[in-house]
Amino acid sequence: MTLLPPPRAEQRPYSYERHGIRVEDPFHWLRDPLYPEVKDEAVLAYLEAENAYFEAAMAPHKGLVETLFEEMKGRVKEDDASVPIRNGDWLYWWAFTPGAQYRVWYRKPAAGEGPEQVVFDEPAAAAANDYFRLGALAVSPDGKLAATLVDDNGSERFKLRIRDIATGRDIETVTEVGIGEPVWTADSRGVVFTEVNEHWRSYRARLHWLGRPTDEDRTLYEETQDLGFSVGVSKAQDKSLIFLATGDNTTDEVRFVPAADPEAAPTLVSPRKTGRHYSCDAAHGKLWILTNDDHVNFRLAEADVAAPSDWRTVIPGSDRVYLTDVTAYREHLALSQRVDGLDQLLLRTYAGAETRLPFAEAAYSAAFSGNPEFAPASYRLSYSSMVTPGTVYDYHPESGELEVRKVQEIPSGYDASLYTSERLMVPARDGKQVPVSVVYRKGFPKDGSGRLFLYGYGAYGFAIPPSFSTSRISLLDRGYAYAIAHIRGGDDLGYGWFLDGKLDKRTNTFNDFVDAAKGLVAAGFARPGRIAAQGGSAGGELMGAVANSDPDVWGAIVADVPFVDVLATMLDDSLPLTPGEWPEWGNPIEDRAAFALIRSYSPYDNVRAQAYPPMLITGGLHDPRVTYWEPAKWAARLRATKTDDNLLLLKINMGAGHGGKSGRWEQLREVAEAYAFVLTQMGGA
Q: What is the pLDDT of residues 55-73, one digit of tens each?
A: 999 999 999 999 999 999 9
pLDDT of 310 strictly over 60: yes
Q: C-alpha dihedral over 664, 149, 145, 219, to 10 degrees? A: 160
Buried b (16+ CB within 10 A) or exposed e, 445-474: eeeeebbbbbbbbbbbbbbbbbbbbbbbbb
Residue 427, CA atoms < 13 Å, CB-side half-sphere: 4
Average pLDDT over residues 310-316: 98
Catalytic residue selected from 537, 602, 605, 662: 537
Quote the pLDDT of residue 657.
59
Peptide bond into 36 cis (omega under 30): yes
| Rounded CA separation 339/130 (Å) | 43
pLDDT band at 588 (very low <50, low <70, confident <90, very high): very high
Quote the pLDDT of residue 201.
87
Give percent helix, percent strand, percent coil of the chain, each to the nearest 5.
20, 35, 45
What is the rounded end-to-end Cα distance, in angstroms, of the chain?
18
Pick the closest to residue 125 from 87, 163, 99 (CA basis): 163
| Rounded CA separation 205/95 (Å) | 32
**Side-by-side strand order, sheet with 365-368:** 365-368, 379-384, 391-396, 401-407
Catalytic residue selected from 336, 602, 658, 662: 658
65: number of Cβ within 10 Å: 21
**Tell me: the pLDDT tens digits for 340-356?**
889 999 999 999 999 99
Catalytic residue selected from 32, 491, 492, 623: 623
Coil, strand or helix: which one is 511?
helix
Percentage of the chain modeled with pLDDT above 70: 99
Does residue 319 carry a catalytic annotation?
no
Are 304 and 286 a contacting pair, CB within 8 Å?
yes
Average pLDDT over all residues of the chain: 95
Q: Looking at the chain, which residues constitute the CATH 2.130.10.120 domain(s)?
A: 132-272
| Rounded CA separation 661/133 (Å) | 10
Average pLDDT over residues 95-113: 91
Percentage of the chain modeled with pLDDT above 90: 89
pTM: predicted TM-score of the whole model, two decimal places: 0.93
**Tell me: the pLDDT tens digits for 248-302?**
989 999 999 999 999 999 999 999 999 999 999 999 999 999 999 999 999 999 9
pLDDT of 660 strictly over 80: no
DSSP 224-288: -S-TT-EEEEEE-TTSSEEEEEEE-SS-EEEEEEETT-TTSPPEEEE---TT--EEEEEETTEEE
Coil, strand or helix: which one is 448?
coil
| Rounded CA separation 673/65 (Å) | 6
At a CB cut-off of 8 Å and minimum separation 6, what does 605 contact?
A: 23, 565, 566, 567, 599
Residue 605, CA atoms < 13 Å, CB-side half-sphere: 20
Quote the pLDDT of residue 661.
62
pLDDT of 117 strictly over 80: yes
At a CB cut-off of 8 Å and minimum separation 6, what does 451 contact?
A: 479, 480, 481, 526, 530, 531, 532, 555, 682, 683, 684
**Tell me: the pLDDT tens digits for 376-385?**
999 999 999 9
DSSP code for 600:
H
CA gyration radius, the chain = 25
Does residue 658 carry a catalytic annotation?
yes
Helices (H), 550-643: 566-570, 578-585, 592-601, 629-641
| Rounded CA separation 135/126 (Å) | 13
At a CB cut-off of 8 Å and minimum separation 6, what does 84 contact?
A: 91, 92, 93, 108
Quote the pLDDT of residue 361.
86
| Rounded CA separation 251/278 (Å) | 8
pLDDT band at 511 (very low <50, low <70, confident <90, very high): very high
| Rounded CA separation 636/46 (Å) | 10
Are 222 and 207 a contacting pair, CB within 8 Å?
no
**Tell me: the pLDDT tens digits for 536-567?**
999 999 999 999 999 999 999 999 999 999 99
Q: Looking at the chain, which residues constitute the CATH 3.40.50.1820 domain(s)?
A: 15-73+413-682
| Rounded CA separation 588/526 (Å) | 39
pLDDT band at 198 (very low <50, low <70, confident <90, very high): confident
Q: Domain spanning 15-73+413-682: which CATH class is it, in words?
A: alpha beta
**Burial, 313: exposed, middle or buried (Cβ in 10 Å; 0-12, 13-18, 19+)?**
middle
Sign of CA dihedral 17, 21, 24, 25: negative
Rounded to whole angstroms, the maximal C-alpha distance in the chain is: 75
CATH number of 132-272: 2.130.10.120
pLDDT band at 363 (very low <50, low <70, confident <90, very high): confident
**Tell me: the pLDDT tens digits for 90-99?**
999 999 999 8
Pick the closest to residue 257 from 196, 205, 334, 195 (CA basis): 205
pLDDT of 602 strictly over 90: yes
pLDDT of 568 strictly over 90: yes
**Tell me: the pLDDT tens digits for 434-451?**
999 999 999 999 999 999
pLDDT band at 575 (very low <50, low <70, confident <90, very high): confident
Are 461 and 425 a contacting pair, CB within 8 Å?
no
Does residue 155 carry a catalytic annotation?
no
- Of 498 and 340, which is predicted with more confidence? 498
At a CB cut-off of 8 Å and minimum separation 6, what does 621 contact?
A: 38, 47, 154, 628, 652, 653, 654, 655, 656, 657
Sign of CA dihedral 544, 540, 651, 15: negative
Quote the pLDDT of residue 77.
93
pLDDT of 1 strictly over 60: no
Average pLDDT over residues 316-330: 97
Helices (H), 500-602: 507-522, 538-549, 566-570, 578-585, 592-601
At a CB cut-off of 8 Å and minimum separation 6, what does 671 contact?
A: 68, 72, 471
| Rounded CA separation 402/359 (Å) | 10
Pick the closest to residue 324 from 337, 308, 306 (CA basis): 337
- Of 685 and 183, which is predicted with more confidence? 183
Distances (CA, A) of 280 to 235, 236, 270: 10, 8, 11
Distances (CA, A) of 32 to 43, 83, 471, 650: 7, 46, 36, 18
pLDDT of 483 strictly over 70: yes
| Rounded CA separation 199/481 (Å) | 42
Pick the closest to residue 422 from 434, 435, 433, 438 (CA basis): 438
Quote the pLDDT of residue 358.
85
